[in-house]
Amino acid sequence: MTHAAEPDTERALPERLVALLTGHFGVEVAPEQLTRATTFESLGMDSLSLMELVVAAEQEFGIVLAEGELDLFPASTLGDAARAFEHAA
C-alpha cells in the first residue's frame, strides 16, 4: 500500500545531502533507501563524521550554516540534517 500523502519518506531528502552521503562519505546504501527517519548511526557515522559532513556541505555547495544550526549527533536523523540544508539553500 502506497501513501501518497507522506512526502517525508521517499525522495523528500535534498539531493545535495544524498550526494554528500553517497559520494563524499561513501555510504553504501542505495539513495532510495535513505529516508528522513534514517539515523547517522545506522550509516556508521560518528560525531567526527558529522563535523566533516558540515564542513563538506559548506565547501562543496557554498552554503553557510549558522552556528548551532546543524547540531547533529549519531542518533540524529537525516531529516534533522535535511531541515538545515533546506534553510541554507
Mean pLDDT of 80-86: 81
Number of structural domains the chain divides into: 1
User: Tens digits of per-residue pLDDT, 17-30?
Assistant: 898 899 888 888 88
Is 64 inside a domain boundary?
yes
Does 53 fall in a domain?
A: yes
DSSP 13: S
Cell numbers linked to 20: 554528500
**Residue whose C-alpha is closest to residue 16's, from 72, 70, 66, 54:** 54
Residue 4 lies in a domain: no
Q: Alpha helix (H) ranges present in 1-89?
A: 15-19, 47-61, 78-88
Q: What is the pTM of this model?
A: 0.77
Q: Tell me whether residue 79 is in a domain.
A: yes
**Averaged pLDDT, 43-69:** 84
Closest CA to 20 of 43, 47, 4, 41: 43
Q: Which domain holds residue 53?
A: 15-88
CATH of the domain at 43: 1.10.1200.10
